[in-house]
Amino acid sequence: MGMAYLPAAQRALDVITPVAIYRQIGRRPSQVYVNDAMGDATPDKKAQHRLSDRVYWKTEAKPGEQIQDRRGGVLLVTATGECYPIALAEPTPLTTETAFSHADLAIKADQAEAERLIVAGSLVEATPRRPKHPPSRPPDRLFADDHPVVVDKLPKGAKLEAENVGY
């Protein structure tokens, strides 16, 4: 089967020294509730929907890997050609004020972190490498409400890819 369409990289950065990255390992219920009109609601009968926070594992990108900024997010392309979505900036939980702008704020934070890492000499502009496989889909494991948004250690039983993706 051919590789699924992957938009061209808008920017590629080779990893020169190890850098912190955040890889999604699941989600948890957020503290943000909305009504059917997607307006702010309190956790009662009027709150038909509870939004989710993504849960991340803090790990690192190593020399020989490449960070690519693509439409839709940031990917790490490993030395073996595998790729998966990551965040460069430390993720934050949703708030009532940021619930509907959270993705844009995360993109801007990733871009600012990339610039900081370039100035620090940890990343360098490069020609994009073509991944050998489509990006893995993040797992959808549901964690408890009080689970941290970022963990330093992969929780027991946590998977790094969704199961039954259907490629």
Residues 3-18 pLDDT 10s: 556 778 899 999 999 9
Residues 30-88 pLDDT 10s: 988 887 776 666 666 665 788 999 999 999 999 999 999 988 789 999 999 999 999 99
Residue-level pLDDT at 35: 73
Judged against a pLDDT cut of 90, whether residue 21 lies above it is answered with: yes
What residues have CB less than 8 Å from 19, skipping those under 6 apart? 60, 61, 67, 88, 117, 122, 123
Residue-level pLDDT at 4: 56
Residue-level pLDDT at 6: 73
Instruction: Tell me if 164 is assigned to some domain.
Output: no
Q: What's the rounded Cα separation, in Å, for the pair 26 and 151?
A: 11
Query: Comparing 157 with 166, which gets the higher pLDDT?
Result: 157
Structural tokens at position 65: 């890997």
Q: What's the rounded Cα separation, in Å, for the pair 38 and 132?
A: 40
Instruction: Tell me if 159 is assigned to some domain.
Output: no
Judged against a pLDDT cut of 80, whether residue 22 lies above it is answered with: yes
Instruction: Tell me if 70 is assigned to some domain.
Output: yes
What residues are paired with 66 via a beta bridge?
14, 77
Residue-level pLDDT at 5: 65
Which helix (H) or strand (E) segment is 103 a member of? Answer: helix 102-119
CA–CA distance from 48 to each of 41, 53, 149 (Å)?
9, 17, 23
Residue-level pLDDT at 164: 43
Closest to 82 (Cα-Cα) out of 23, 16, 138, 130:
130
Residue 109 near residue 117, CB atoms below 8 Å? no
- What is the domain extent for residue 99? 9-151
Instruction: Tell me if 165 is assigned to some domain.
Output: no
Residue-level pLDDT at 1: 42
Which helix (H) or strand (E) segment is 107 a member of? Answer: helix 102-119
Phi and psi of 2, rounded to 5°?
A: -70, 165
Instruction: Tell me if 97 is assigned to some domain.
Output: yes
Please state the domain count of the chain.
Answer: 1
Residue-level pLDDT at 47: 59
Judged against a pLDDT cut of 70, whether residue 162 lies above it is answered with: no
The letter for the amino acid at 155 is P
> Nearest 5 degrees, angle CA 132-CA 64-CA 157?
70
Instruction: Tell me if 162 is assigned to some domain.
Output: no
Residues 95-144 pLDDT 10s: 988 888 888 999 999 999 999 999 999 999 999 999 988 888 888 899 99
Instruction: Tell me if 58 is assigned to some domain.
Output: yes
Instruction: Tell me if 156 is assigned to some domain.
Output: no
CB crowding 79-98: b at 16 or more within 10 Å, else e = eeebbbbbbbbebebbeeee
